[in-house]
Chains A and B, each alone.
Chain A
Amino acid sequence: MDRLNGGAEERIALPPGAAAEEEVRRLDGIFAKQVFDLDGPVVYFPIRHHSPACSHHLLRTFADYKPDIVLIEGPESGSPLISVLADPATRAPVSLYYGYEDGGGRGSCYFPLLDYSPEYAAIREAAARGIPARFIDLDYRGRAEDREEDGKASYQDESLLAGSAFIERLCRASRVRSFDELWERAFEIGGLSRSAREFARGVFAYCTLSRMTYTPERLRREGDLDREARMRARIEEARAEYGRVLVVTGGFHTYGLIGADGASPAAGSGQAEAGGGARGRVAKSEGAAVGASPKTRSASASAESGVVGRIYPMVYTFQEADRLNGYASGMPHVGYYDRIWKRLSAKKPDSDPYASTALDLLARLGHELRGEAETVSTSDAIEAYGMLQGLAALRGKSAGGAYELLDAVTASFVKGERTLAADRPLEKLLALMTGDAVGEIAPSEFAVPIVEDFKARAAACRLNLKATGRHRRTLELYARPAHREASRLLHCAEFLGTDFAKKESGPDWISRRDMNLVRETWTYSYSSRVEARLIENSIYGGTVAEAAQARIEEEMDKVPVHHSGQLAHWLLRALVLGLEELAGRLFDRVETALRQDGSFLSLCDTLDALDRILGQRRLLGVTDERRLSRLSGEAFEAAVSRIGGLNGLNPDEQPRAVEGLKLLHMLSDPRSGRSSEPGESGRPGAAGEAKGTPRDEAFRDRLGELLAAKDLSPRLEGAAAAILVRLGEREPAEISRRARAYMLGSPEQVLKTAEYLQGVFSLARDALLEGDTLLGDLSGLLERLAHEDFLRLLPELRLAFTFFTPPEASRIAERVANLYGVPACRLEEAAVDERDLLYARRLDEHIRKEFAVWKLEPE
């Protein structure tokens, strides 16, 4: 019963009045003879997907009819999976996931099953009775853009359900808010007291009448006729084999399946058969592929249509099943109806499942709200329960359903004006009515290895995959090896694009942020989406680690062989993901690339990455420390040897080059003590390599050569001079001497002062604070500078001074004040406003005139 409403545009008018009654009588006749003849060879049980009442009556029909086989509307290549679904270890909500590739790209389709879905009830009942069950619908239905939402389509599409003019009129006349409420009143609540035959008759009549509001043309376009042709063929096959066939399909299709659809099968048969036939073959071959070897990644293709598809059993969540969460294929309040079904299907069935579920939920709601320190009393719950019953009576329902429960909570729990803040009880109730369960698939040959691997690792890391909602986990990376393991898994999941986990805070070695933190905080949430993403990744490998490795390798193959910086970056990444084996191979590649790399910047990146790995080698689990050190040393030397080439570097890259020089300086200077622990060997610049080692000397020499180069850019000049001064190679005065050269130079050179200072300050801020020369010169320059030039220089100059911390800035201010012999606090005062000055001048003139009038002399 995909579309219970009328198509808005192409509707055939229903016969009015008496003719309509005639029509209903005709349908009753068809129902008794062709649909629900318990003595006949085939019984068609019309359902609405995910309806507890349908499941309830379906089970009764099983008992009455005692079928030999049950046929279910569902993707036929899923038939081999029925045994997995029927396995008691499989817990709903679950789904069949059909991923396919056709001419238009990749797509996927879900077939969700909840405990109370009639399809699932049929599968389980068939297993309990030891009779076969089969899916009989087409797998592939072509691309219907309107059926997809977020690239996620459903086999049980009811998206056209709400919003048509017909349903709207019906709802208004019946005084209900929506189709779902109408359905609940008529079938879920009202249907429970009826016999199975009566119930099925109602569903059949209702669905068939809504089917009649569609033209055959529309049905064909939607693919319904093709599907029905396919299902009819399957039913025929089953009839030939078995005596009593029970067919469970959406009520919308029943009329088409019994061939009563006078106009449409005739009109559409030719095409439908043709289309169905062609697609049937596709489906068949897929079925074979799935059935034969689910583990090997063999997918079959159909020559005619070019559709490749595979089907898997997969977990599902209540959250995804709930339409209120924005999934088109869902239905509202799944958790609520699940509770109803549990009571309906219990060994001792509940005589009034709706009342007891409402009581249960009201009590739970009060409890949870009190846990959040909301003021909710038992009297609110009592009042709400009374309201629920009152509303049910007023609305002519035998019991209060989901909508009465919502109304009751709205009236009794929400205090004061309804605002976002006051609506908390309703929000909470809706969450309870959605539920947070995640299903489970029994272990089977159909399980996808990567999913199993992920689950096993997640279980080992004690991640919660049993309930939906975002879970939070804080990992102590340094202290707990188990937490490091968890971090690697979460990083892998993030890298594979599974949407499973998100890092909220923690050190980020790759983009060099927050590296001072020692804990990682993650939020994560498991859903069928995650599972689907994992399955998509299974083409890369059978385990999470393999897939991540294959994907990194794929990325790396795109990197040119001599870009050692990028390769080192991937190496770091591989280590963060815990891919040690890959890391071993990556070392080789980085080493090779290093020797071919001629770019100073890339070499500095490599050095930087290697240095970070070295610093965190325990955390990242590096085993071959010696090799890493050697590689790092090699990178250092290679970078140093390229310093000479920095002259003539593109101005955009100069700041990066300065960073590179800074890195080299830090690694060469033992006094900086950056992240090196005393007593460790093999590190460049560690204690053993004090001033005067060959490496250090090479660095000095290269810098000296760079500084001596003609036309060196001011920024690099500043940086090189600052490093050499810090290394004790040059006199500190050299910095101010070189600065003066710019400041006193030609107007063009003056403007380069700021760039030079940026180079200096990025390495040696103290140059400005040691002695007054530089400060005095700069101050003199600013006094001299024409206003226009000052404005041109200002932005770069400001940038140069951003290297200073606020206390340093105040110290500089003090020095400047000293220079001019004014107290430092004067600098803090705001300058006199120009308007004030003008005003004072006017006032002065005015007073003078006034004095003159009064013949007074100003003193």
Chain B
Amino acid sequence: MSMDMIKPPAEALHERELLALRAEEQGKRPPNWLLSPASVRDFIIGRERPAVLDGEPVEITRKFYGNDVLIERAVVTLAGNRGLMLVGEPGTAKTMLSELLSAAISGTSLNTIQGTAGTTEDAIKYSWNYAMLLDKGPSEAALVPSPLYQGMKNGILTRFEEITRCPSEAQDSLISILSDKVMNIPELANGVLFASPGFNVIATANIRDKGVNEMSSALKRRFNFETIRPIDNVKMEARIIEAQAGNLLIHSGVDAEVDRDVVELLATTFMELRTGITREGYKIDVPQAVMSTAEAVSVYVQSAMTSYYYEGGGVSLERLVQNMLGTIAKESEKDLGALKTYFSKVVKERAKTDERWDAYYKEKKWIG
């Protein structure tokens, strides 16, 4: 793993696993796929039997936690005629899943359109190198291909991030491409680009953005939708926070062990504030801010880094609570109230019987 990237792409991060799976591949593969559907599934949700690369066993780890059946459906969708649309709350690992799928199937997760409010049809299809265009007229050399163009040409997956952030007219340029698998380039003489086998689109959309740029039903019809739900299991969430925070810390050059107890406190707090129900079954206020696993990871990493650089030690609960404030009080002042109540009701109650929760409760002073 190289240290010269903040966040290496999935294919680099799991290079050995991918190579090992490719080496053992015997099953039937859809054209241009590097792995069979079964191996793609195994790559994402892990399996017990290790693969072998150069005589060494390579463990196939679980990278996505949640609904395994969803993964199977997603993989089969990508082998079919329709695109795959991953929808869900922010921070439910939609993007990560889309990266893993394209890394496993096409070997790269970098062929990506990053959707924004400013994305235009040019950015989705192709644009021109104007100096060349003026100099030599329209030619393939003067054409600047988009990731979608590349995907069609090379028969690989194109990822479309945050599709609902894009204006509707830009989204709609996908409609005919997805159904006909053809892109017309009227400027060129033989201006038709046929999609090679293996091409498909994985789009992600945020439920919180719903209604901003509502997808047309024509576009919806060209996708199979998969809804990714937040994890509803504290242990699993703690495991994800632990793994991802560990990874991020290593890449930030912070040499600190992940503190499991702290992670569990964090995971419990986030889950309870997200669902509005404590593990004792009481109802509590839910803050408006996104209480996703990804946010929990960033809270942990922030806290660990602050502790590391300023105190020279492991993550402290003090820093944890301080950083939590910034995450929760993002949207409105009221959210702070929700956290405050959470401490004075839930944490306080648990503090009576549990030392760790007691220590946690002592940091309530930072919430004010």
Question: Contact residues of A with B, CB < 8 Å?
Answer: 173, 175, 177, 375, 377, 379-380, 383, 386-387, 390-391, 393-396, 407, 410-412, 414-418
Q: Which of A175, A383, A393 contacts B81 (CB under 8 A)?
A: A383
Interface string of B71-101 (1 = CB under 8 A from A): 0110111011110000110000000000000
Interface positions of B from 269 to 296, Cβ below 8 Å from A = none
Whether the Cβ atoms of B87 and A387 lie closer than 8 Å is no
- Please give the distance in Å from B142's CB to the nearest CB on chain A: 37
Q: How far is the CA of A412 from the CA of B225 in the complex (A)?
A: 7
Q: How far is the CA of A262 from the CA of B81 in the complex (A)?
A: 58
* B residues in contact with A395, CB < 8 Å: 72
Q: Let me know if B168 is at the binding interface, CB within 8 A.
A: no
Contacts A/B (CB < 8 Å), 6 sampled: A173-B48, A375-B217, A383-B80, A383-B81, A407-B72, A411-B76
Chain B, Cβ-Cβ closest to A408: B73
Q: Which of B69, B77, B79, B225 contacts A415 (CB under 8 A)?
A: B225
Whether the Cβ atoms of B73 and A377 lie closer than 8 Å is no
Q: How far is the CA of A375 from the CA of B216 in the complex (A)?
A: 13
* A residues in contact with B80, CB < 8 Å: 383, 386-387, 390
Q: Given A383-B80, A417-B207, are A175 and B224 also a contact pair (CB < 8 Å)? A: no
Q: A177-B69, A390-B76, A407-B72 are in contact. List 6 more A-B contacts (CB 8 A).
A: A379-B221, A383-B80, A386-B81, A411-B225, A417-B87, A417-B225
Give the size range of B's interface with the partner: 20 to 34
Whether the Cβ atoms of B227 and A417 lie closer than 8 Å is yes
* A residues in contact with B221, CB < 8 Å: 377, 379-380, 415
Q: Let me know if B59 is at the binding interface, CB within 8 A.
A: no
- Please give the distance in Å from A374's CB to the nearest CB on chain B: 12
Q: How far is the CA of A798 from the CA of B145 in the complex (A)?
A: 81
Q: Let me know if B41 is at the binding interface, CB within 8 A.
A: yes
Q: How far is the CA of A394 from the CA of B29 in the complex (A)?
A: 11
- Please give the distance in Å from B261's CB to the nearest CB on chain A: 28
Q: Given A394-B37, A394-B38, A416-B87, are A411 and B75 also a contact pair (CB < 8 Å)? A: no
* A residues in contact with B225, CB < 8 Å: 411, 414-418
* B residues in contact with A377, CB < 8 Å: 221
Whether the Cβ atoms of A175 and B37 lie closer than 8 Å is no
Chain A, Cβ-Cβ closest to B38: A394
Whether the Cβ atoms of B73 and A417 lie closer than 8 Å is no
* B residues in contact with A379, CB < 8 Å: 221
* A residues in contact with B75, CB < 8 Å: 394
Question: Contact residues of B with A, CB < 8 Å?
Answer: 28, 37-38, 41, 48, 68-69, 72-73, 75-77, 79-82, 87-88, 207, 210, 215, 217, 220-221, 224-227
Whether the Cβ atoms of B224 and A412 lie closer than 8 Å is yes
Q: How far is the CA of A173 from the CA of B75 in the complex (A)?
A: 20
Chain A, Cβ-Cβ closest to B217: A375
Q: How far is the CA of A391 from the CA of B69 in the complex (A)?
A: 10
Q: How far is the CA of A394 from the CA of B215 in the complex (A)?
A: 31
Q: Given A377-B221, A412-B224, A415-B220, are A383 and B82 also a contact pair (CB < 8 Å)? A: yes
Q: Which residue of A173, A177, A377, A395 has the most chain B CB atoms within 10 A of its CB atom?
A: A395
Q: Which of A173, A386, A391, A411 contacts B226 (CB under 8 A)?
A: A411
Whether the Cβ atoms of A417 and B210 lie closer than 8 Å is yes
Whether the Cβ atoms of A390 and B220 lie closer than 8 Å is no
Q: How far is the CA of A410 from the CA of B72 in the complex (A)?
A: 12
- Please give the distance in Å from B288's CB to the nearest CB on chain A: 19
Chain B, Cβ-Cβ closest to A172: B68
- Please give the distance in Å from B175's CB to the nearest CB on chain A: 13
- Please give the distance in Å from A259's CB to the nearest CB on chain B: 39
Chain A, Cβ-Cβ closest to B88: A417
Whether the Cβ atoms of A390 and B87 lie closer than 8 Å is no
Chain A, Cβ-Cβ closest to B48: A173
Q: Which residue of B72, B76, B77, B80 has the most chain A CB atoms within 10 A of its CB atom?
A: B76
Chain B, Cβ-Cβ closest to A380: B221
Q: Given A416-B220, A418-B225, are A411 and B77 also a contact pair (CB < 8 Å)? A: yes
